[in-house]
Structure 1
Amino acid sequence: MKYKIAKNISYRMLENDIVILNHESGYYYVLNETASKIWEFLFVKKVKLRDTIENFVSEYKIEEQILKYLLQASC
Protein backbone atom coordinates (compact mmCIF):
# COMPACT_ATOMS: atom_id res chain seq x y z
CA MET A 1 0.00 0.00 0.00
CA LYS A 2 1.30 3.43 -0.92
CA TYR A 3 0.27 6.56 0.90
CA LYS A 4 -0.66 9.88 -0.65
CA ILE A 5 -0.59 13.36 0.87
CA ALA A 6 -4.04 14.98 0.98
CA LYS A 7 -4.53 18.08 -1.17
CA ASN A 8 -5.12 20.28 1.87
CA ILE A 9 -1.72 19.37 3.35
CA SER A 10 1.63 20.95 2.57
CA TYR A 11 4.99 20.36 4.18
CA ARG A 12 8.51 21.76 4.31
CA MET A 13 11.80 20.37 5.56
CA LEU A 14 13.51 22.55 8.19
CA GLU A 15 16.91 21.17 9.13
CA ASN A 16 16.16 17.61 10.30
CA ASP A 17 12.46 18.18 10.99
CA ILE A 18 9.41 18.40 8.76
CA VAL A 19 6.68 20.99 9.33
CA ILE A 20 3.23 19.97 8.09
CA LEU A 21 0.43 22.50 7.52
CA ASN A 22 -3.24 21.55 7.29
CA HIS A 23 -4.73 24.35 5.18
CA GLU A 24 -8.31 23.53 6.22
CA SER A 25 -7.78 23.66 9.97
CA GLY A 26 -4.85 26.07 10.00
CA TYR A 27 -2.97 23.73 12.33
CA TYR A 28 0.65 22.87 11.79
CA TYR A 29 2.66 19.98 13.13
CA VAL A 30 6.39 19.56 13.59
CA LEU A 31 7.80 16.08 13.09
CA ASN A 32 11.03 15.21 14.87
CA GLU A 33 13.96 13.70 13.00
CA THR A 34 12.74 10.09 13.24
CA ALA A 35 9.14 10.90 12.30
CA SER A 36 10.47 13.05 9.44
CA LYS A 37 12.44 10.09 8.17
CA ILE A 38 9.29 7.94 8.19
CA TRP A 39 7.41 10.71 6.33
CA GLU A 40 10.22 10.89 3.77
CA PHE A 41 10.15 7.11 3.19
CA LEU A 42 6.37 6.94 2.76
CA PHE A 43 5.58 10.19 0.95
CA VAL A 44 8.75 11.41 -0.77
CA LYS A 45 10.52 8.19 -1.71
CA LYS A 46 7.19 6.29 -2.04
CA VAL A 47 8.56 3.28 -0.13
CA LYS A 48 5.90 0.72 0.78
CA LEU A 49 4.86 0.59 4.44
CA ARG A 50 6.14 -2.98 4.83
CA ASP A 51 9.60 -1.99 3.52
CA THR A 52 9.63 1.15 5.68
CA ILE A 53 8.88 -0.92 8.78
CA GLU A 54 11.61 -3.43 7.93
CA ASN A 55 14.12 -0.60 7.45
CA PHE A 56 13.31 1.02 10.79
CA VAL A 57 13.27 -2.28 12.69
CA SER A 58 16.76 -2.95 11.36
CA GLU A 59 18.15 0.57 11.78
CA TYR A 60 16.70 1.41 15.20
CA LYS A 61 16.65 -2.12 16.67
CA ILE A 62 13.00 -1.72 17.66
CA GLU A 63 10.54 -4.61 17.81
CA GLU A 64 8.28 -4.71 14.79
CA GLN A 65 5.05 -4.87 16.84
CA ILE A 66 6.06 -1.81 18.85
CA LEU A 67 6.85 0.16 15.71
CA LYS A 68 3.52 -0.82 14.13
CA TYR A 69 1.70 0.25 17.29
CA LEU A 70 3.49 3.61 17.35
CA LEU A 71 2.73 4.23 13.68
CA GLN A 72 -0.96 3.41 14.14
CA ALA A 73 -1.21 5.54 17.29
CA SER A 74 0.19 8.56 15.46
CA CYS A 75 -2.29 8.40 12.57
Structure 2
Amino acid sequence: MRLMWKPSGKGVPVRHHENHQPLPDRKRRFLGGTCGTAFHLPALRRTSGESGTRPEVRAVGEPHTSSAAATAVFTW
Protein backbone atom coordinates (compact mmCIF):
# COMPACT_ATOMS: atom_id res chain seq x y z
CA MET A 1 0.00 0.00 0.00
CA ARG A 2 1.25 3.47 -0.81
CA LEU A 3 0.04 6.41 1.25
CA MET A 4 0.38 9.90 -0.24
CA TRP A 5 -0.68 13.28 1.12
CA LYS A 6 -0.36 17.00 0.41
CA PRO A 7 1.25 19.43 2.88
CA SER A 8 -1.26 21.64 4.68
CA GLY A 9 0.26 24.81 3.26
CA LYS A 10 -0.25 26.63 6.55
CA GLY A 11 3.42 27.62 6.76
CA VAL A 12 4.14 25.46 9.80
CA PRO A 13 7.57 23.79 9.48
CA VAL A 14 7.26 20.01 9.38
CA ARG A 15 10.18 17.92 10.63
CA HIS A 16 8.77 14.56 9.48
CA HIS A 17 5.57 12.52 9.18
CA GLU A 18 4.70 9.48 11.30
CA ASN A 19 2.44 6.66 10.15
CA HIS A 20 0.47 4.52 12.62
CA GLN A 21 -2.21 1.86 12.55
CA PRO A 22 -4.88 2.26 15.25
CA LEU A 23 -5.61 -1.01 17.09
CA PRO A 24 -8.88 -2.17 18.69
CA ASP A 25 -7.46 -1.68 22.22
CA ARG A 26 -6.97 2.06 21.47
CA LYS A 27 -3.20 1.66 21.09
CA ARG A 28 -1.37 2.44 17.85
CA ARG A 29 1.12 0.33 15.90
CA PHE A 30 4.02 2.42 14.52
CA LEU A 31 4.35 1.74 10.77
CA GLY A 32 7.21 4.11 9.99
CA GLY A 33 8.17 7.69 9.31
CA THR A 34 9.28 9.83 6.39
CA CYS A 35 10.44 13.36 5.60
CA GLY A 36 8.52 13.21 2.31
CA THR A 37 4.85 13.20 1.36
CA ALA A 38 4.49 9.51 0.53
CA PHE A 39 5.04 6.26 2.40
CA HIS A 40 5.10 2.65 1.19
CA LEU A 41 3.65 -0.03 3.48
CA PRO A 42 5.06 -3.37 2.30
CA ALA A 43 2.67 -5.36 4.53
CA LEU A 44 -0.29 -3.98 6.44
CA ARG A 45 -1.43 -6.44 9.12
CA ARG A 46 -5.10 -7.11 9.72
CA THR A 47 -6.05 -7.04 13.40
CA SER A 48 -8.81 -9.10 15.06
CA GLY A 49 -10.83 -9.75 11.91
CA GLU A 50 -11.49 -6.06 11.33
CA SER A 51 -13.36 -5.24 8.12
CA GLY A 52 -11.22 -2.18 7.45
CA THR A 53 -7.98 -0.61 8.61
CA ARG A 54 -7.55 3.14 8.93
CA PRO A 55 -3.84 4.10 8.69
CA GLU A 56 -3.04 7.50 10.22
CA VAL A 57 -0.50 10.12 9.12
CA ARG A 58 0.60 12.91 11.46
CA ALA A 59 2.93 15.82 10.77
CA VAL A 60 5.58 16.30 13.47
CA GLY A 61 7.14 19.75 13.95
CA GLU A 62 10.54 20.81 15.27
CA PRO A 63 9.44 20.88 18.94
CA HIS A 64 8.11 17.31 18.36
CA THR A 65 4.48 18.37 18.51
CA SER A 66 2.08 16.35 16.34
CA SER A 67 -0.80 17.46 14.16
CA ALA A 68 -4.20 15.85 14.17
CA ALA A 69 -4.26 12.59 12.24
CA ALA A 70 -5.21 12.37 8.59
CA THR A 71 -6.68 8.96 7.80
CA ALA A 72 -7.45 6.68 4.90
CA VAL A 73 -9.50 3.48 4.88
CA PHE A 74 -8.27 0.14 3.55
CA THR A 75 -11.13 -2.38 3.25
CA TRP A 76 -10.12 -6.02 3.62
| TM-score, length of structure 2 as denominator length | 0.29
| TM-score, length of structure 1 as denominator length | 0.29
